[in-house]
Amino acid sequence: MRRAARGARRRRPVSSTLGVTSAAPTMKIEFDLLQNAQDSIERAIELVAWGDEQPEPRKLKQAIQAVAHGVELLLKERLRRVHPCLIWENVDKYPSLTARTVSAEQAMARLSTIGGLDFARDDLELIQSLRATRNAIEHLAWTATKQEADSIVGKALEFALHFSKSELDYDFIGYHTRKDDTLNALLSANEALAGSLAKRAFPPNRPECDQPQTCSFCRARSVDPVSNTCKLCGHWNADREDDISF
Ligand SMILES: [Zn+2]
C-alpha cells in the first residue's frame, strides 16, 4: 500500500475516546496513569501533525505543555511498574493525593538507580530543558524562536514515542498512524522529530555500508540495509529508492 500523495489535504484524526465511557451527565471521567499520559502525547501529536488551526505560537506552547505532561506521566507509569510508592517524592506519603509526586527528572533518577534503566546523557539533558521550558510557560513568561520551540517539541515527542514503545510496550506510531497519514504529517511538520527518530534508529558512527536507506513509504532515512525494513514505520522496502530524505 502506498502512502497518500504528498500535498493531499490534511485531515484531523478522529478525536481520542480515552476516558469517555458514556455521554450522560452522570458519566464517569476516568484516566488511569497510562491513559492520562497517552491522552497528552496524542494531543501533542495532533498539534504537531495537524496544527489544529491554531496560530503557530499558541500551537507550539500547547504542544510543549502536552508533551511535557505526557513525558512526566510515562516516566511515572514506568516507576509505578517497579513499585507504586516510588511515584511519591517521599515514599512514606504513598498513596496520599495531597503529597508531592516526583518530577520527570527525579523519576529518571529513580528509574536509573532503582529500576536499572540506562538513560543517554542527551535524553537526561533534554528532559531538563523540557521541564525548564514548561515551568516558564506555566509560571512565568516564555520567549523562544520558532526553531527552538520546534526543536524541543520534536525531540521531546521522539523521546516519548521511544520510551513508550521500549519501556511500556505501547506504540503511538503503529499501523493506524500510517493509514491516516499522521506519521507523514508529523515527519513533514517537524524536522527535529524526524532527525531524532532517525538518529535513535541509526546511531552515528556506523560504517558507510551500514547506512540507512530512504523509506519508500514514510520517506524517512530509516530503512535497515540488511533487513530492508523501515525502523520508523515498519514498511518493508522491496526496491530501494533514492528519493529525497529528511
Ligand atoms: Zn518508513
CA distances from 147 to 71, 100, 135, 188, 190 (A): 21, 34, 19, 14, 10
Query: Please, is 77 exposed, middle or buried when counting C-beta atoms within 10 Å of its C-beta (0-12, 13-18, 19+)?
Result: buried
Among 168-172, 179-183, 226-230, 234-238, the range of highest mean pLDDT: 168-172
Residue whose cell numbers read 513509504: 217
pTM for this model (two decimals): 0.83
- Residues above pLDDT 90, as percent of the chain: 61
CA 214 to centroid of ligand 1, rounded, Å:
8
CA 227 to centroid of ligand 1, rounded, Å:
13
- Specify the higher pLDDT residue, 140 or 204: 140
The pLDDT, as a whole number, for residue 244 is: 46
CA 122 to centroid of ligand 1, rounded, Å:
24
Q: Which long-range contacts (CB under 8 A, 24 or more apart) does 241-245 make?
A: 241/213, 241/214, 241/216, 242/214, 243/214, 243/216, 243/219, 244/214, 244/219, 245/214, 245/219, 245/220, 245/221
CA 163 to centroid of ligand 1, rounded, Å:
19
- Sign of torsion over alpha carbons 128, 129, 132, 133: negative
CA 38 to centroid of ligand 1, rounded, Å:
23
CA 69 to centroid of ligand 1, rounded, Å:
28
CA 18 to centroid of ligand 1, rounded, Å:
27
The pLDDT, as a whole number, for residue 246 is: 47
Beta bridge mates, 101: 88
Task: Convert the pLDDT of each residue in 10-62 to its tens digit.
Answer: 556 555 667 666 678 989 999 999 999 999 999 999 999 998 788 999 999 99
CA 241 to centroid of ligand 1, rounded, Å:
12
Beta bridge mates, 5: none
CA 22 to centroid of ligand 1, rounded, Å:
37
- Specify the higher pLDDT residue, 221 or 242: 221
Full set of structural domains in the chain with CATH: 33-170 (1.20.120)
Task: Convert the pLDDT of each residue in 145-164 to its tens digit.
Answer: 999 999 999 999 999 999 99
CA 170 to centroid of ligand 1, rounded, Å:
18
CA 213 to centroid of ligand 1, rounded, Å:
10
The pLDDT, as a whole number, for residue 21 is: 63
Which grid coordinates belong to 227? 533487513
CA 176 to centroid of ligand 1, rounded, Å:
14
CA 166 to centroid of ligand 1, rounded, Å:
18
- Specify the higher pLDDT residue, 244 or 113: 113
The pLDDT, as a whole number, for residue 15 is: 58
CA 111 to centroid of ligand 1, rounded, Å:
31
CA 168 to centroid of ligand 1, rounded, Å:
22
CA 231 to centroid of ligand 1, rounded, Å:
7
Q: How many angstroms separate the CA atoms of 187 and 215, rounded?
A: 12
The pLDDT, as a whole number, for residue 202 is: 80
CA 229 to centroid of ligand 1, rounded, Å:
8
CA 87 to centroid of ligand 1, rounded, Å:
36
CA 40 to centroid of ligand 1, rounded, Å:
25
